[in-house]
Amino acid sequence: MSGGDSGKMLILPSDMLVEVAYPDDEVSHGAGRATAKCTYCIRNGDETEYPAHDVMMIRHWKANTPKEPDAGWWGWYCPEHYACTAPWASSLLAPEHLIPADLEARIAADREAAAWAEAHEFGKAEQAITLARLIPAGHWTTFGDIGRVVYGNTRSSGSVSAALTSLATSERCHSRVRDADGRCATKSRRLAQADEVALFQAWNEMAREDGLPVVTRTGVAFAAYRLSIADLEGLHQPAEYPSL
Ligand SMILES: [Zn+2]
């Protein structure tokens, strides 16, 4: 297209339909900026700036979002995260004029696809546990990175977390597989606060015994000791599992 972008119609964030992807540079919010960050990369500690046109902006609705035309929850997606995004069922709670006609059908189709994937993912939880137990002493990784290696996508950190939560709290992998911010994942156990604090201290004590430096006050493991994806792929041995 020639003539520059000066005549381009930009959409206001408050006019965006829910669960429809708009390139960041076509939303007035992002107008004029050449790059944008990805909400989900940032959660993984990755502050990469992507070309704004490659970053998709999606308006979601949460169960607790006030039902007002200007409300919503906006996310930015890099190409990798956009590729594995799915429509949020809670977006059906948005004001009617913001809901695209096909949203209900898309959510139903996604549920069906997820159920199919789950039925064919037999053994992945076991693989995630095996990989977690292979993390060498003095190193750490994240649920998201194990998900990437075992499940092949960044959406599976919750599945990895659920798999590891099924293990006894005395397993040393709990001090080596951490949230993206470097902390032990004691929250997923839903314990009383005193019990959670005790577990947090116990797991970080394990880390120190292993030679993994952890910030005393916050329990954050040092980034320099985090395994790379290549390291994890080297540890992963999916051939041990029967293929379906
Ligand atoms: Zn991303």
Nearest to 56 by CA among 86, 22, 28: 22
CA of 192 to the centre of ligand 1 (A): 34
Q: Is 103 within 8 Å of 218 (Cβ atoms)?
A: no
CA of 78 to the centre of ligand 1 (A): 4
Per residue in 11-57, pLDDT tens? 999 999 999 999 999 999 766 789 999 999 999 889 999 999 999 99
Q: In this predicted structure, what is the pLDDT of residue 44?
A: 85
Looking up tokens 């005395």, which residue turns up? 170
Domain range list for the chain? 13-118, 124-240
Nearest to 20 by CA among 61, 78, 50: 61
Per residue in 191-207, pLDDT tens? 899 999 999 999 999 99
Give the global pTM: 0.51
Which structure tokens are listed for 82?
């956009």
CA of 154 to the centre of ligand 1 (A): 9
Class for the domain spanning 124-240:
mainly alpha
CA of 39 to the centre of ligand 1 (A): 7
